[in-house]
Chains A and B, each alone.
Chain A
C-alpha cells in the first residue's frame, strides 16, 4: 500500500468534515449522513488494507513524513506518521467502531435539526483521533490530543440552547486543559533532555538511561497528568459523567470507545520511558486502582442510565491504568479493545432505549423493555456479561489478564481490582434488570410510543454484540491453551523496554493452577454480584427510591458522588472568581496609586534637585533632551 493511500486514512474524515461543515445546512440530510459515514467506512477499509500490508511485509515499523511543521534552531518537529503495531491497532478500533457509530447516528439523529453539523463534528473527531495515534512524535500526538478535546467540547454542547449542557462542555474542556498543561510540560522536558520529540529518537536515547532516573520519573509523571485528564482518572475525572449531556452516539464513540483511551495509548507508546520509571508506574497503578473502585462505587447508586455507564467507563479506564502500573502493557491494550466493543455497545443500547422512551434516561421510569425491544435487550445482555467478566465473553479475558499481572505485582491492588469487579457486575446487572425486566414504570404516553429501533441502529448493535462475545479470543492465555495472538503481535513494541529492564519482562511466575484460581475468584465475584442484583431487583422487585426521599449516611454520600464537584467548586472555582473580582476592583486601583505615587515622587525629587543644585547635570541633560527633540522635529520639517 502506497504512502499516499495511507494519508487518505486521516484525510477522508477531514474531507467529510469540510464538506459537511461548509455545506451545512444546504446539504440534504440523507446525503450528509451518507457522506459522513462513507468517510469513516472508507477510512476503515484503508486501515484494514494497511494492516494487511503491514503484516504481509514482515511487520516492519515505518515513518511516513509529510512536511516539516515547526523548525526552530536545532529543534525540528516534522509532520509525520508512524505506522507500527500500536498505531494500526488503534486505527482499526477508531475507524471500525467509528464507522458503526456513524451508521447508528444516521438513525439516532435523524430528526435533529443539526444533523449535518453532527456528522461534520464526528468526522472532525475521527481526523484528530487518527492524528493522535498516527503521529510520529509527541507534538503531533498533542495536536490530536487537544483536537479531540475540542470535538468533545463541541459535541457535549451540541444542543447548545441548553446552558447546563454548555457548562458540561466547558468543564470538560477546561479540566482536560489542566491535564494538557502537564502533558505540555512533559514535552518540554523531553525536548530539554533529548533535543527531539520524535518517538524513535527519544526512545533510542532513553535506552541509555538507568532504571529509576529522576528525569524519566519527571517526564512520565508530567505526561501522566495529561492522561489523567483525557482518560478521566482521579482527580481529573469529574468531567466525564457530565459529558453525558452530549448525544448518545458521542458518548459511545468519544467518551467510551476511543478518546478516553488516549491516555492508555500514550503510556503504551511511551513504554520505554515508563519502564525506566518504576516510581511513576506505582503511582499509575495506585491511581488506576483507586479510580476503578471509587467510580464503580458511585455507579452502584446512579439512576440515570448514561451516568451509570459513564462511571463504569471511568472505572474500566482505571483497570487499564492498573494494568499499565504492573507493566502489563499489552494486557491493557487488550482491555482497550474489548472495552471499545462492549462499552460502545452498552452506550448504543442505552441510546436505543432512550430513543424508544422518548428521551427518558431515568431507570426508575423504565422496566420490562425486553419484550418491546428484543434486539436491544439481547445485545445489551451480551455486553453486560462481557463487561462483568464472565467467560467466555470478551471482558473476561482482558480483565483477567490485567488482574493476573496485578496479582503478581501487588496483592493489595489485586484485592481492590476484584472488589471493583464485584461492583461492576452488580451495577451492570442492576441496570439490566431495572431497564429490561419487571413492569414498565413510565408514563402512558411513553408506553404507547415504545418501539424497537430501526435497522440502521440495530445492525451496529448486533455487530458489536458479536465482537463483545468473541472478541476475547484474540488473547486467550496460554493457561487456557491459547496462544495469545494479540500479545505476540504487540511484542516487538516492547523490545527496547525489555532491553533496559529485563527483570520486568520475565515470564509469569504463576503456575497454571494459580492462574485458574485467580480466574475462579474473579468470576465468582462477578456471578455473586449478579445474583445479588437479581435478588434485589427481580425477586424482591425493588425500585430505587425517588429523589424526594431523604437518603441516609453512606448512601447519601455515594448518591451525591462523594460531593467531589462541590469540593472542587469550593476549593478552585469560587476562590478564582473571588480573586478575579478582588484584583479587578482593588488590585488595579492599588497599582494605579503606587505608579502615580512613584511618578510624583520622581517629579518631587527632581524638583528638589533643581532647587538645591543650580546648574546641575540634571539640568544640562534635560535641556539637551529638549534641544534634541526640537532639533529633530525642526530638521524633519525642513
Chain B
C-alpha cells in the first residue's frame, strides 16, 4: 500500500498545486515534496532487505486480470524511490528564486513527474511500467517546451520524437512477450522472467529494449538529443532529466533487459558494452573543450551514464551494485552542479567560462560547495562518486581487461574537464561579469547542504545503501544465470 501512496501523494499534491494561486503554489509543492520524502523514509525504516518485494498493491486492470495494476518495492526500487523523493523537494526549492510565469502549473508538473517516476521504479507489471515510463515524459516535455530557452521548441521536439521512437520498440517487445506467456497470459514482470524464449527472439528483444533504454539514458550513439535538451531546458527540468529520469533507462536495463533476455545478452552484451565504453570516452573528450557550463555538465553526465550501463552489461555483483550506488551519487552530484551553474547564471547572466573567473574570491561558500560536488563527480575517495566508479570500473575490468582500462580513462579525462570548469569559473582574476557577485542565500544553502551531506554519507558509509540492494541484486543475478 505504501507504494501506491507514494504514487498518489505527488499526484494529489500536484493537482492541489495546480489549482492554487501563484503565491501559494510553490509553498504547497515544497511542503508536499517534503511530506512525500518523509513517507519514503518511513518506508525505508519499515523495509526488510531480505524479504523481497514489499509494500505491494495489486488491482485488476485489463484483459480480465491478465494485466494488473500492480507494484511494490524491492531494494532496487527502494533506493531509486528514495533518490526521487529526496531530489524532488530540492528541485522544487531550487526553482523558488526564479519568477516562472504560470508557476502553479510549473510546480504541479514537477510533482506529476515525481508520481510517474515512482510509478516506473515500483511497477511489477510490464504494461504498467510502460505506462509510467511514457507518462514521465509528458510533464518534463512541457517544462522544457514552455519554460525553456530560445531554441526550446526545436530542441524539445527532437527530444520527444527520439524518446517516443525508442519506447515503441519496447512496447512491441512487451506485447510480443505478453503473448508468449502461457495460459490466459500475464504481463507481470515475474511472469516474463519465467519465459523460455528462442535465442533468435531473445536477440531481437534485446535490441528492442536496448534502443528504448539507450535513448533514455542516453547511450552512444543515441545521445544527440541530450546536450541540447539539457542546455535549453529550464534548470529544474534539466535536474529532473539528468538527476532522475535518466535512471529510468538504467533501471529498465536492470529490471527488464537482463533477466528477460539473458541469452540475448550473451549474444550482444559485448556490443552493448563497447557502445557504453565509447560513450564514456566520447562524452568526456567533448566535455573538455565546452565553454557553456551547462553543456559541459550535460556531456559529463552522458559519460557517467555510459559507465553505469557498462557495469550493468558486465552482469556482475560489482557492476550492478556499482550502477545502483552510482545512480544515487550521480543524481545528487548532477543536480547540485546544475544548481550551482544556475546560481552563477542568475548572478552574472552568463554561462560561458571565458567570461567568468574569480568567483571564489567573492563567494567562498559557493566555491567550497561547488568543489565538494565536483570532487564527488570526479570520484575522489570518501565522496559518493568513488564507490560507484570503483565498483563499476572493477566490473568492466573483470569483464575485459582492455575495456576496463579504456573505461578507466574517465578518471583522467573527468579531472581534465572538471578542474578546467572549476578553475575558469572560480579562480583567476575577477572578471567584469562577476563583479558584485553575492554569496549564497539561505534557500540556496538549503538546497546544497543536503546534497553535500549525501556526498559524504555515500562516500564514507556506502554500506547503508549497498545493504538495501544486495539481496535484490543477488536474486536478479541468479535469474540471469
Chain A residues proximal to chain B, CB less than 8 Å: 67-73, 75, 139, 142-143, 146-147, 150, 153, 157, 160-163, 166-167, 170, 173-174, 177-178, 180-181, 184-185, 187-189, 191-192, 576-577, 579-581, 583-584, 587-588, 591-592, 594-595, 599, 621, 624-625, 628-629, 631-632, 635-636
Contacts and interface: CB of A to CB of B under 8 A. Distances in A.
Nearest to A593: B224
B411 A181 contact: yes
Nearest to A171: B419
Given A75-B318, A595-B222, A181 B408 contact: yes
Main secondary structure of the interface of A (DSSP, over half): helix
Given A161-B361, A170-B419, A184 B411 contact: yes
A146 B428 contact: no
Given A70-B462, A594-B221, A173 B419 contact: yes
Given A70-B390, A147-B382, 6 more contacts: A160-B426, A163-B427, A174-B412, A174-B415, A177-B415, A587-B286
A178 B175 contact: no
A150 B175 contact: no
A625 B288 contact: no
A580 B416 CA distance: 12
Nearest to A591: B221
Contacts of A587: 282, 286
Nearest to A192: B398
A594 B224 CA distance: 11
Contact of A188 (B165, B171, B397, B411): B397
B221 A69 contact: no
A67 B461 CA distance: 9
A580 B394 contact: no
A580 B467 contact: no
10 contacts: A67-B461, A73-B317, A147-B382, A160-B428, A181-B412, A184-B390, A591-B223, A621-B175, A628-B171, A635-B61
Contact of A191 (B394, B420, B463): B394
B140 to A, nearest CB: 19
B381 A142 contact: yes
B56 interface: no
Among A162, A174, A178, A577: residue with most chain B CB under 10 A: A174
Contacts of B288: 576-577, 580
Among B322, B381, B411: residue with most chain A CB under 10 A: B381
Q: Which 5 A-B pairs have the closest CB atoms?
A: A73-B317, A143-B381, A580-B289, A160-B427, A188-B397
B414 to A, nearest CB: 8
Interface in B391-450: 391, 393-394, 397-398, 404-405, 408-409, 411-412, 415-416, 419-420, 423, 426-429
A603 B221 CA distance: 19
Nearest to A578: B289
Nearest to B322: A72
A187 B318 CA distance: 14
A160 B460 CA distance: 29
Contacts of B171: 625, 628-629
Contacts of B223: 591
Contact of A177 (B375, B394, B412): B412
Number of chain B interface residues as a range: 35 or more
Interface in B361-388: 361, 375, 380-382, 387
Contacts of B423: 157, 163, 166-167, 170
A628 B128 CA distance: 12
B131 interface: yes
A596 B423 CA distance: 38
Given A580-B286, A591-B221, A625-B175, A188 B404 contact: yes
Nearest to B179: A624
B224 A185 contact: no
B466 interface: yes
Given A577-B289, A625-B171, A632 B411 contact: no
A553 B3 CA distance: 77
B321 interface: yes
B175 A70 contact: no
B428 A163 contact: yes
A267 to B, nearest CB: 21
Contacts of A174: 412, 415-416, 419
Contacts of A625: 168, 171-172, 175
B462 to A, nearest CB: 6
A198 to B, nearest CB: 16
B380 A150 contact: yes
Nearest to A187: B394
Given A174-B415, A181-B408, A72 B427 contact: no
A68 B375 contact: no
Interface string B189-225: 0000000000000000000000000000000011110
